[in-house]
Amino acid sequence: MREIYFNKALNEALREKMSEDESVLLIGEDIGVYGGAFKVTEGLLESFGEKRVIETPISENSFMGVATGLAMMGFKPVVEIMFMDFIALAFDQILNHTTKFHYMYNGQVNIPMVIRTPAGAKGGYGPSHSQSLEALFIGIPGLKVVAPSDPYTAKGLLKSAINDPNPVLFVENKVLYGTKGEVPEESYLIPLNQAMIRREGTDLTIISYSRMLQLSLKVASFLEKQGVTLEVLDLISLSPLDEEAIIASIKKTKRVVVVDEGCKTGGIGAEISALLAEEAIEYLDAPIIRVGLPNVPIPASIFLERHVIPDEQKILDAVDQCLNW
Give the active site residues: 60, 129
**Other residues' Cβ atoms within 10 Å of the Cβ of residue 189:** 14
147 Cβ neighbours under 8 A, 6+ residues apart: 119, 134, 170, 171, 172, 173, 209, 210, 235, 236, 238
| Residue 40 phi, psi dihedral angles, 5° rounding | -70, -30
| Residue 213 phi, psi dihedral angles, 5° rounding | -65, -40
Instruction: Measure the N-to-C terminal CA separation of the chain; round to a whole number of Å.
Output: 43
Q: Is 218 within 8 Å of 250 (Cβ atoms)? A: no
Q: How big is the chain, counted in residues?
A: 325
Alpha-carbon Rg of the chain, whole angstroms?
19
| Residue 232 phi, psi dihedral angles, 5° rounding | -115, 115
Q: For residue 294, say if its preceding peptide bond is cis, omega within 30 degrees of 0.
A: no
> Which of the 8 DSSP states describes residue 224?
H
Which residue blocks in the chain are alpha helix, DSSP H?
6-20, 44-48, 60-72, 91-93, 101-104, 151-163, 210-224, 243-253, 268-279, 302-308, 312-323
List the beta strands (DSSP E) in 43-182.
53-55, 76-80, 114-119, 144-146, 168-173, 180-182
CA distances from 251 to 8, 78, 147, 219 (A): 38, 39, 25, 21
Q: Is 268 within 8 Å of 310 (Cβ atoms)? A: no
